[in-house]
Amino acid sequence: MKTLSWIIALVAISTLTVSAQEPQSKCKPVAFRNGEGCWILTSVPIGELPNRPLYWHLDVYPTREAAEKARGEHAAVVESLDKVWLLTLAEREWRARRKGKHVATIGPLPVEQGKEFTAQYMEAVMAPGWQTPMHTHPGPEVWYTEQGETCLETPRGKQVGKKGVPVIVPAGEPMRLTVTGKAQRRSLVLVLHDSSQPWNTMIHDWTPKNLCK
């Protein structure tokens, strides 16, 4: 009986440890979307990028069919935040061949030449106080905010993303995000990552200064 009791105790401790280490920022496929969280909308293999400044363009269309007709190279169509979006990686002057509502142009994106990239697009919907563990990406992370604000802390300090103020984080930079303010965060997120590496890596060798209170 003592042996059985020890086994049960060890299983319980192990389960609690796994739960405690489960990253709050774990993103799941959009098929499982059931409310607040981080949801992966799509991943698009891009390949090698052109040797010129690259920007993220966000356009809204009334229907998915209209957005698909406007889609060109290095682009994706997603349904998120109650809208249909055409998301395109291109030079700054680029505009869709079929006009929708051009919402934002964000960049230039800090990317390395000579690598193959994948664009992973996500929806982030979180309540104030929500916080990620420390992590990095093998490529820039960018987010566009429709509502609310998110404070990002890195070793270089902090910056706050909100409506009209996008955030760009270089590859490999340790970071922690905190949803601040009083409104729910509603954002579209791009991680343009090296295709040969996992898009997200948790880290334990950096201690934030709690700049995002």
In this structure, is residue 2 part of a structural domain?
no
Residue 12 in any domain: the answer is no
If you average pLDDT over residues 193-209, what whole number do you get? 95
| Look-up of token digits 């929500």 | 130
User: Is residue 16 in some structural domain?
Assistant: no
Is 17 within the bounds of a domain? no
**∠ at Cα 47 (44, 48), nearest 5°?**
140
pTM for the whole thing? 0.86
pLDDT in the model for residue 16: 33
pLDDT for 66-93, tens place per residue? 999 999 999 999 999 999 999 999 999 9
Higher-confidence residue of 160 and 50: namely 160
CATH number at residue 100: 2.60.120.10
> 83 lies in a domain?
yes
43: containing domain: 24-202
Q: Show contacts of 45-48: CB within 8 Å, 24+ apart.
A: 45/116, 45/118, 45/195, 46/74, 46/89, 46/116, 46/117, 46/118, 46/119, 46/192, 46/195, 47/116, 47/117, 48/113, 48/114, 48/115, 48/116, 48/117
How many domains are there within the chain?
1
DSSP conformation class of 175: B
Digit-coded pLDDT (tens) for 82-122 = 999 999 999 999 999 888 999 999 999 999 888 999 999 99
Cβ atoms of 166 and 114 within 8 Å: the answer is: no
Q: Is the pLDDT of residue 161 over 90?
A: yes
